[in-house]
Amino acid sequence: MNQVSKTCPCGSHNPYAQCCQPLHLGTAKATAAEALMRSRFSAFYLAAEGQTALCEYLVNSWHHSQYADKKQALHDLLKSCQQQQWHSLKIVNTEAGGKMDTTGTVQFVAFFTSSDNETVQQLHEKSHFIKENGLWFYRNGSFQADIKLQRNDTCWCGSGKKFKKCHG
């Protein structure tokens, strides 16, 4: 798959090469908590497609205080990435997390299917981010209740169509 010409999986509608890829390659840094959240979703999405090197990006963008063993965290992520297929990301709300902030919160819903269950599921989370030495890190998150898509919402599959015209 040629990701250079593809739209970024994060839902920004920008080309991957101009959106999350520079963060994944380490040639750019996330300027806001939401940018890091989007790049992390894209890494999960692409790792599920076989680009497992992105799991290292996920571990490196995870605040070190949240895991005891980096090698084990990478192992666990690799296993997880093989079990889910990510479809789309919906940002619900962002609080702080800008250039001048040191903390931020991003509430999002990510739609996925698991290898053991073809039913579309949601990861609805309120994620907390921290900025240290100019770098944003995912700290932790709290699960939220699933959302109910309305007829005129964008479909979970990432097609860009309204839910009612796609999977509704």
- The share of the chain scoring above pLDDT 90, in percent, equals 73
Domain boundaries, the chain: 16-165
| pLDDT category of residue 67 using cuts at 50, 70 and 90 | confident
> In the CATH hierarchy, which top-level class contains the domain 16-165?
alpha beta
Who wins on pLDDT, 89 or 78?
89
Q: Which residue has the higher pLDDT, 1 or 103?
A: 103
User: Alpha-carbon distance 73 to 137, whole Å?
Assistant: 15
d(CA 154, CA 164): 9
Lowest mean pLDDT among 38-42, 78-82, 86-90: 78-82
What pLDDT digit, counting tens, does each position of 41-64 carry? Answer: 999 999 988 888 899 999 999 999
The answer to whether the CB of 39 falls within 8 A of the CB of 11 is no
Distance CA 3, CA 21 (A): 9
Does the reported pTM lie above 0.85? Answer: yes
CA distance 59 to 67: 9
On the question of pLDDT at 31 being above 80, the answer is yes
Look at residue 81 in the predicted model and tell me its pLDDT: 86
Coil, helix or strand at residue 148: coil
